[in-house]
Amino acid sequence: MGKHQRSKEIIFIILFGMIYLTHVLMASDIEQIVIHNKFLELLVDEKEGHFILKSLRPYQGFMTYNEKVPSTSFATIQLNDRNYVVGTSKGNFIEKPEKITPSMVYYEWQIRDVTIKQFLVLTNNPYSPKEDTLKITFKVRNDGFEDQVIGFRFTLDTLLGENDAVPFFIPDFGYITGYEFLGQDKLPPYWYALQSLNKDDFKVQITLSDIIYQKPDEAIFANWEEFQKNLWDIPRIRKKTFKRNILSILDSAVAFYWFPKKLKEKGERTYSFFYGHFTGDKYIFEKMSALLSMPFQSRIQPFFVTLHLQNNSQFSLDHIAAAIDSVDNNDFIFTTEKRKEMKDIKSREMRNATWKIMPKEQASGKYKFKVDIMYRKGVKEIFTNTIEKEIQIINERTFPLLVENKYFSPNGDLRCDTTSIWIQDIFEKTKYLFIMDSEENLIKKVDLSSNTYIWDGFDQKENLVLDGMYYCYCSLVSNFQRGLDFFDIIVDTYYPTLKINFTNEYLARGELDDFTLQPLARDDQGIQNWSLSISDSMDHIYLATNGSDELKGDIKWNMGNLFKNTETAGQAYYIRFMARDRACNQSFLTQKFRIIDGKVFKKSFPDILFDFDSCLIKEDNYQNLANLISFIEKSPVTSIKLIGHTDSVGTERYNKTLSIRRAESVKDYLIKNAQKEISNIISVGKGESEPKVKNINEKGRSRNRRVEIFIKVGND
């Protein structure tokens, strides 16, 4: 080997080492949030919220690709035909990834006018009673003021220990070892991936049967690089392997697609699925290994039973067959043949058989199934073994519910403090009522001998629950089950927020003929009814109006005739505003004013807007300020009030100071540019406390960076 060749190799080794070291250092800079139970460990990076899943038992190793940080499993949101990876710097975190409970990590991320909440929860799935599964949930909310077309994709970069190209098995479809495209009609409730039956290899399962949320519209199986390079569509070419091209490595991944659909303003949509350990049972026989997959529970809908067999002997096994049947019961319809011929299985070869079974309408409770495995020796058929397994059928259609108050407020004010739940059941049976929170965690279980239950808002430990959405269902089965039909109840103990734009302490008679109010009532659960009135100190009502829904627009009153007498001058009157939300929480607001004689009125001018973190007057404001100076110089102005405001970016203390500087900047401009001396100017700053519009995007924030101008003309 020549010196030049050795030099090239040394340079290559040094460069490779530098690149690897840079990658390691960059990855080490990203801190990770870790949660775990005895089955799984979840690692979530704090920078982008992507995760890596690791198995702790019964086998150890990673279940998603783990050599890149952030993780190679990621979500894509399509917003009005533009694609964004969730958690990246294209948007911003409202709440950074955080461990909320020992088993849940949560974050909230925003892109344009859309907010995405991610919940990662270690739990059990509908096919396994063990907490050996990760539930992945995204809630997407349109915070804008118009409808938006939103699609969603989640790319799962699966890994089984050391195997990054494991095939997938789809019940009633078969093995997927290369590129495949399955529409919603072909997606079963679950599928799984496994390598063999003999070794203690990884066996993982993906479950899509969460009834509360919709299944994906499509699942695409392909090489991971396809999803990395194409954030939405990938080339629709079927390939026999998980290689992207001749030079690429085998690397299997799956992406779930929820196709773009219109989401109304303030609307919310949820996407969810499970990923965890395989729920099948393994059996070792004399000449073969068997793996039986069957859910431990099902509703009145088709379910699959799959048997995998592997020949452990050195010779072929001839005429293998398997047959399934329910034990001493006729509550099921077998939509496929009960007996499956698997013919010959060569040494170390693996075969499978799948049955599709439909429970009948009357099915309810626990049932036992048996699977007989047979092989032929000569002309005689031999039963090698029988496998038995139980399934629980949940017949939730039996007990529909009615709720007296969907919204209630257990805050002790004696208005809607409880809600009554009625179970529509003509049979006198013991029933079980379950109440769960929005993450399907059980908070209360009640044994019922009657058909009515009054809930006071307390959980099983007699603690008052937090505000939010809760679900309830009733069943004959005493064990708590997720994924059933439910009725939702909303607990709301917060009172509506009220505001009136009217701030005048004195009101001149000239302003009474066209008196305009802008009452505002806000509540997360909506306003049920409201009232507005004007009365004197003796509670004599002069004017009143009310409504049974949200307030819309201004309220105009002609009060000139009511208060035309001079004896009303100086008297105190009251604007009384009341609003009640759907949970019967009531708020009251009272504002006092006096009527005075003389020409006294207040006038407001267009806001003076500012750039971010700036108190400099922009050229766009020069004309408005010139009009203001002209009005001041021509009118008998008695006082000028300048009120500065900021957006919500930054600390409250900093924004308070910045708002004062903005008001002072306008004050200095008026004094400097006026031809006459201007006095009686008051400048104050409100910081971020009084936004004109929501600070949810740059458009709203730019309108909140302002100085408001109010002028009083005349004498008291």
pTM for the full predicted model: 0.54
Measured CA angle at 43 (ends 40, 45), to 5 deg: 165
Q: Mind giving me the DSSP string for 53-78?
A: EEE-SSS-EESB--SSSS-S-EEEEE
Cα–Cα distance, 137 to 150 (Å, whole number): 16
Q: What is the DSSP letter of 328?
A: S
Contact 417, 411 (CB under 8 A): yes
Q: Mind giving me the DSSP string for 419-459?
A: EEEEE---S---EEEEEEETT--EEEEEEESSSEEEE-SB-
Give the pLDDT score at 333: 92
Measuring CA to CA, which residue among 430, 298, 319 is closest to residue 375?
A: 319
Mark 426-437 as b/e (b = at least 16 C-beta within 10 Å).
Answer: eeeeebbbbbbb
357 CB burial (10 A radius; 0-12, 13-18, 19+): buried
Measuring CA to CA, which residue among 443, 441, 435 is closest to residue 403?
A: 435
Residue 456: CB atoms within 10 A of its CB come to 12
Q: Which residues contact 295 (CB under 8 A, 6 or more apart)?
A: 126, 127, 189, 190, 279, 303, 391
Helix axes 652-673, 622-634, angle to 10 degrees: 60
Instruction: Quote the tokens at residue 526.
Output: 């909506």
Contact 216, 203 (CB under 8 A): no
Give the pLDDT score at 614: 92
Give the pLDDT score at 568: 58
Give the pLDDT score at 240: 86
- Per-residue pLDDT tens for 672-698? 888 888 877 889 999 998 888 888 888
Q: Which residues contact 24 (CB under 8 A, 6 or more apart)?
A: none
Give the pLDDT score at 261: 94
Measuring CA to CA, which residue among 190, 192, 181 is closest to residue 220?
A: 181
513 CB burial (10 A radius; 0-12, 13-18, 19+): exposed
Mark 195-223 as b/e (b = at least 16 C-beta within 10 Å).
Answer: bebeeebbbbbbbbbbbebebbbbbbbbb
Look at strands 586-596 and 572-581 and give their pairing: antiparallel
**C-alpha distances in angstroms, 37 versus 8, 41, 102, 714?**
50, 7, 9, 73
137 CB burial (10 A radius; 0-12, 13-18, 19+): buried
Sites in the chain below the pLDDT cut of 70: 1-30, 68-70, 126, 195-202, 209-214, 376-381, 383, 395-400, 424-430, 476-485, 502-514, 560-570, 594-604, 635-636, 713-716
Give the pLDDT score at 16: 44
**Distance between first and last Cα of the chain:** 103
Element (H, E) at 2: none
